[in-house]
Structure formats: C-alpha cells, structure tokens
Chains A and B, each alone.
Chain A
Amino acid sequence: MVFFSTAPSFFMLADNNTSTYSNIMAKPKTDVRKPDENAAASPEKTAFMRGADVVVRTLELLGVDTVFAYPGGALLEISQALTRTKKIRTILPRHEQGGGFMAQGYARATGRPGVCMATSGPGATNLVTPIADAFMDSIPLVAITGQVFQQLIGKNAFQEADFFGITLPIVKHSFLVLKPEDLPSTLFKAFKIATTGRPGPVVVDIPKDVQQAYFVPEFPESLDAVDVPSLTPPPVPDDAVLSEILDTISKAKSPVLYVGGGVISSGATAALREFARLTGIPVASTLMGLGAFPPDSPQSLYWFGMHGTVAGNWAVYHSDLLIAVGARFDDRITGAIETFAPKARIVHIDIDRSEHHKNVRVHVPVEADAKVALERLCRLAQKSGFQKPDLTEWMGTIAGWKRQHPFPFTYNSEKTPHILPQQAVEILNEETKGGAIISTGVGQHQMWTPQFYHFKEPRTFISSMGAGTMGFGLPAAIGAKVARPESLVIDIDGDGSFLMNIQELACMAVEKIPVKILLLNNQHLGMVMQWEDRFYEGVRGQTILGDPKNIGSPDNVGGLYPDFVKIASGFGIAGRRVLRREELREAIREMIAHPGPYLLDVVVPNGEHVLPFIPQRRSALGILTE
C-alpha cells in the first residue's frame, strides 16, 4: 500500500504546542541534527536519534536478522531506516499477507520470533489473517505497523484504521506507541511477550510522528530488564504430583502419550523421547507435534485425529491413561467430545492453565512448561526406581491394529493410471529421505503431506493448523528458507491454496530464495469437494477452479486452468508440468537438483479422498477407511 497523501507535511506544521516531539518535528528542515547515516548501526555516536532509527536499532539489539516489510506512507520512515542498517535483511513480500506468513515461516522453522511490517490502514489490515493464524498456532510473531500521525488519529485520515482495536481479539498483546521514548522498551516487551510462556503474536502500532521524532533513546540491557507484571514464569510442577503420575503409569494397562505443538515450542523433543523410552508408552502426536517423536519407532502411533492413523485413534480411544503434553484437545483431534478417550484417566501438562478443562475435563491438570515437566518426570523416574509398566499386551493390540489397517497410511494406485497425489508426496519423501522442511497450504494436500512425508525432526512440518489458512504454504516456505538457508525447503501446495498468495513468486525470484513448489493440481478445492461427495451428494458449490464445462485433468489437458508453469515463467521461475506416472520421480529429482526456485505442476485426477476420515462430531470408532 504505497499510496500516501500530502497531508503529513501539512500536519507536521500544524499546532503542536503540547508536545516537545512535535516541536522538534515541526521544523525538520531547519534542524541541524540530520539523521546520522550510521544512526541505526551505532547509536553511541549520536545521542539524538530519529524514532524510525530507534526502531531499527532496537530490532538489531533484539537479534533480529530479517524483517518482511511492505512499505507505505505511514511506514516510510522505518523503511528508510532499514536501508541504513547492515545487520538486518529486509525482504519485500508482494502482499502484506505474504509478509506475515513469511515471518511465520521464519518463526516456525526456528522458534525465533518472526518480524513483519506494514503501513497503516489496508497494509495493516492485510496482516490480520497471519496474526490470527499465529494466535491459533501459538507462533511468536511481532507485527510492526505504521499508523497515521497522532494528530490525525480518529479523524478518518487517509489510510487510517484502528489496528490496535481491530486486532484485540487475535493477539497475545498489542501496543500503540504514543511517546517516542517508549519505542525501545515497548519493542523489548513485545519480543518478551511473544516468546515467553505460550508464544503468540504481538502488534506494535507506531504513529508516523513517533517515527519522525528526534530524541535520546534509552535501550534496555536485555529482555530481563523490561518488566511485564503479569508475565510470571510458569510454576515449577510439584514433585508430589509428578510422582503420582509416575505411579499411575506403573499401574496403567493401556497408556498413551498425546503430544502437541507445545512440545516443539518448548524445545522438549529430547525430553519427550527420553520419557517415552523410560516408560515404554506409545506416542500419538497432533499435526502441530509432528517431528517431536520419530515416526519409525515401534512406539510411534504417528498422528491421530480426523485424518490420522487408525491405530493412533483407536489407541487413544481405548487408553486407560492419556497423558497430554502441550496440546489443546482441538475438535479435529477429539471428534465427538463425549466419546473422546472415554475410559481414560487424563493428565494434561500445559503451560497455559486456561487450556485445562477447556474442551475436555481432565483428571490431573499440571500447569508447567512441557520441557520442564518432562525432564523432571524423567529424573524422578530414574531416581525413585520407577516401575516400568508391562505393556506387552497393549503393544500387541496396537500391533494388531497396525496390521489390520495399513500403518501409517496407504492408497490404491491400481484404480487409475494417473499420478495420485499421495504418490507424489511419497516419492518426494523417498527422494529427500524425509529430511526437507515442508510447508503446505490448506486442504487435502495438507493432509496427504504428513500422511506420506514422514517428519522426523521438529520444525520441519510448517502448516496452518488451527486457523487453516489457504495461501499459507508459499510465503511460509520463503520465510523458512530465509531462516534456514542450508535446508531444502519445499512447499507442497494445492492449486486453490497456491493461487491465494501466488504473487510471492516475485519475492522468491527477486530475492533469490530457492524454494521448491510441488503443486498437487486437481483443478478443484479438494477438501471441500470431499465433503460435498460424502455429505452433500456431490453437488459442486463453487469448488471447481477452472471452467466447469471443461474441467482439466490428466485426461483433459486442454482444460487445465490456469497454466501454472507459464505463470511461473512470467515471474522468472523455472517449472515443469508432469502428467504421467513414469515421469514423476525423474521430475521430482529435477526439481530438487535445480539450483534456484522451481515449480513442479503435478496434474492429478480429482475425486480422490483423504482417508482415514473421522467425520465431524463422530467418535474414533466411526473412522472411515474407504
């Protein structure tokens, strides 16, 4: 949103007898304190700094190395200041939403807060979706937005929107900075809030006059130096409670560990693996938790929930002890709440006590950081001569389920000569040995990805889970690749989702960010189509993405719409379309080997359903496998 009116210069001269900053601001042309070229890089040289340079310098002090910023009238000062830093790479997305998801991809791939920026009004409102998305999945995101001059706030000024008000219900916290001196401490607080306890998004809205003000900034020494009164450290779990949990485990016949994103965000992967080893309990993960536990372990139930494994879902259903760690009993996990793990004693370890009893009444709520709790459980088990339960029978039952229903997943390639989407993901898994960072859009391809790509390490599956935001995959992959340039980063996308942020092909090309795109192109909104087939007699309600009278498919190449390879080529990105099964593996190899960004358009038949499938509000026993 680059447009800006001439109003700002007028208002710089407007009556401002109430504010010393405004007084300084009112005569920038005659002021001898010109912005120091190196102001952002070395504040020590000059006591006075411009607000925008203070923002950039504070970000440097906070260790930020990349920001995803779209300029505009009310962000101009900060965008200018960003040109004066040598420590921060500024990446230009082609839409603010893209920038928000790039920052999320950066955060999800590293655990470090992602930073995005946009101008006031429409620039800021375009960030609403990435912010809401980060809130749902507890992602540390700091969104810095320009705001109109304070003198203009509330006057329906050009590109004005009450962003502080708009984002209230979707942020962990937010700030509207009214005093320039508050900039350093506010940004420190924003980073502290975004990353402490359960992570989440924080908005910092900065009026243009605050960006323009000259003043002597005071930078906090560290995150510890800024005080956020209610941000108390999570309680250390009581040993007595933990010992009781260990006792319950010793006596359990059919226990299951249910692990979620909290295990990954607290860095508890090693502790989880150790705890699972010590107790022998099988591990079922949510999608957010994938990568925390090795999928090839005999204890792995992989992932459970609406499209998860039969064994995982049945194990949770039949469990007598369910230990949930860093998970929130989402409806896509529980199905019908009344029949969720009906016989289980439920232990719920979570850093956020508002999650206890929220969806499911639990027997033992434990308010604690997942890593702290799991490490302490391990230590107590080793110290106190913990009696490992005999799970031979239980593991036998689970092994039976795994045999009875292909584990983790399967598909039938006999019914069609064409490439099935599952197969494309499976071959990608083989060709990359499951070692790439994968992002996705939302829909069928998002479910096939974890079904057939087996995530071994945390922060390698990057997807919009809680919010389910289409268009997430491409920008998130860009952010992840920027954060972890040594890794192979692939966006597995659907044709519907891909179109939603396709403009970021320009960002990839211009910034030379070699992300790969494996497009599973079925010419439909596949997941909605699946529900139409199952529950709405196959009536297509706007789920066909091309010409409904000439639907493209591997059998009707002429109907394929749009021509994604041509689009990629227009953006300067290499690409290829594959139609035939025999070409697939070689094409995937070509994509991986290509040095720059690459689009592989895999044309797949429509009508394939994601299975297994637990229809909404059904119990795990009602799982559909065909």
Chain B
Amino acid sequence: MKKHTLSALVENKFGVLARVAGMLSGRGFNIETLNVGPTHDPQLSRITATVVADEAALDRCVRALGKLVSVISVQDFTTVDYVARELVMVKIQSTKETRSEIIEVADIFRAKIIDVAHTSLVVEFTGNDRKIAAFLNIIEPYGILEVARTGQVALTRGH
C-alpha cells in the first residue's frame, strides 16, 4: 500500500473537517497527517491529508468525498506532479556541551533555532517526510523532548 496525498477545497464552515475525516475513518484509513487552513478566498479552506491506503479503496473514497455538499473539489495528488512541505518543531534536550553541536546539525538541515533555554532548544524546519525523518534520526541521541508537526501541505506544480 502506498502513501497518498489528498487535497480538498472545502467550504470554510463548522463540521466540514468532521465530514471529510469521517469519510476516511469510516473506511478504516488511518490519517497520517492532516492540515486545514483558509485559502485566499475566506469562504474556502483547503484540507490536505496523507493516508496509506489501498489504491482502489482510496479511489472510491475520493469519489465519495467529491460528493459531499461541502466539498468543492478533491484530488489524489499521487497521480500528478506536486510540491509538498511540512513544518516541524522539535524541542531537544541540550547542555552547554551539546548546544553548539545541535546548532551545527540544525544548520546543515537549514533549520532555525527559535527558542533557547538552559536545558533545551526548540528547532523549526520545513521539508518533506524524508528530510524530517533524517533530521529526527540525527538529533535523536541528544534527546527529543517534544515534537509538533503541521502535517503536509501540498499544491500541484505549474498551472
């Protein structure tokens, strides 16, 4: 089973996320990441979800999502050319000794330090899942205290 990125343009109203998420969960798909936010048109929001699912079952689900009255359009990006990013914040345990090392690693990943305390750092960076996994893997020995991720956002390339 492959990972799919679904992108839905929906009405910016209460209950719409529940309808979309319910359609996925009712079919037993685990939503791996989920992002919702308004678009340049305040009436509309974009929902981006990544799910690992059987191709045919997901196709049925996408068609069913397209049928929802609150969904303007929906697409499985897997079949098209698209760009995707995710923003991650990681709180990492640090000491006087390890702080500079962590900063060095963060630099390599073009991550930013957005908070420094005596015993921890908060690092922010964006990337695709592979880059995120690589960074978390490298930073792991220092001690990851907390992670927060936005979930993937994506758009098709070109017009």
Chain A positions within 8 Å of B, measured between CB atoms, are: 164-165, 168-169, 172-174, 176, 193, 228-231, 352-354, 356-358
User: Could you tell me the distance between the alpha carbons of A352 and B67 in the complex, rounded to whole angstroms?
Assistant: 8
Contact: B70 with A169, CB < 8 Å?
no
Partner of B69, one of A228, A352, A357: A228
Partner of A354, one of B11, B19, B67, B72: B67
**Residues in chain A near residue B19, CB distance under 8 A:** 168
Partner of B26, one of A165, A169, A231: A169
**Residues in chain A near residue B60, CB distance under 8 A:** 354, 357-358
Contact: B15 with A164, CB < 8 Å?
yes
Chain A residue at minimum C-beta to C-beta distance from B64: A354
Please list 20 pairs of residues, one from A and one from B, whose beta carbons are closer than 8 Å in the complex, sorted by A's number: A164-B15, A168-B18, A168-B22, A172-B69, A173-B68, A173-B69, A173-B70, A176-B15, A193-B69, A228-B69, A229-B11, A230-B68, A230-B71, A352-B67, A353-B66, A354-B64, A354-B66, A357-B59, A357-B60, A358-B63
Chain A residue at minimum C-beta to C-beta distance from B65: A354
Q: With A353-B63, A354-B60, A354-B64 in contact, do A168 and B69 touch (Cβ < 8 Å)? A: no
Chain B residue at minimum C-beta to C-beta distance from A231: B69
**Residues in chain B near residue A172, CB distance under 8 A:** 69
Chain A residue at minimum C-beta to C-beta distance from B69: A173
Chain B positions within 8 Å of A, measured between CB atoms, are: 11, 14-15, 18-19, 22-23, 26, 59-60, 63-64, 66-72
Known: A164-B15, A230-B68, A354-B67. 19 other contacts (CB 8 A): A168-B15, A168-B18, A168-B19, A168-B22, A169-B22, A169-B26, A172-B69, A173-B70, A174-B15, A193-B69, A230-B11, A230-B69, A230-B70, A231-B69, A353-B63, A354-B63, A354-B64, A357-B59, A357-B60
Chain A residue at minimum C-beta to C-beta distance from B72: A230
Looking at the assembled complex, report how far the CB atom of A233 sits from the nearest CB atom of chain B, in whole angstroms. Answer: 14
**Residues in chain B near residue A354, CB distance under 8 A:** 60, 63-64, 66-67
User: Could you tell me the distance between the alpha carbons of A164 and B22 in the complex, rounded to whole angstroms?
Assistant: 13
Looking at the assembled complex, report how far the CB atom of B13 sits from the nearest CB atom of chain A, in whole angstroms. Answer: 10
User: Could you tell me the distance between the alpha carbons of A414 and B139 in the complex, rounded to whole angstroms?
Assistant: 84
**Residues in chain A near residue B71, CB distance under 8 A:** 230
User: Could you tell me the distance between the alpha carbons of A174 and B59 in the complex, rounded to whole angstroms?
Assistant: 24
**Residues in chain B near residue A193, CB distance under 8 A:** 69
**Residues in chain A near residue B68, CB distance under 8 A:** 173, 230
Chain B residue at minimum C-beta to C-beta distance from A173: B69
User: Could you tell me the distance between the alpha carbons of A164 and B15 in the complex, rounded to whole angstroms?
Assistant: 8
Chain B residue at minimum C-beta to C-beta distance from A165: B18
**Residues in chain A near residue B15, CB distance under 8 A:** 164, 168, 174, 176
**Residues in chain A near residue B14, CB distance under 8 A:** 176
User: Could you tell me the distance between the alpha carbons of A165 and B18 in the complex, rounded to whole angstroms?
Assistant: 8
User: Could you tell me the distance between the alpha carbons of A176 and B15 in the complex, rounded to whole angstroms?
Assistant: 9
Looking at the assembled complex, report how far the CB atom of A145 sits from the nearest CB atom of chain B, in whole angstroms. Answer: 15
User: Could you tell me the distance between the alpha carbons of A353 and B67 in the complex, rounded to whole angstroms?
Assistant: 8
Looking at the assembled complex, report how far the CB atom of B63 sits from the nearest CB atom of chain A, in whole angstroms. Answer: 4
**Residues in chain A near residue B22, CB distance under 8 A:** 168-169
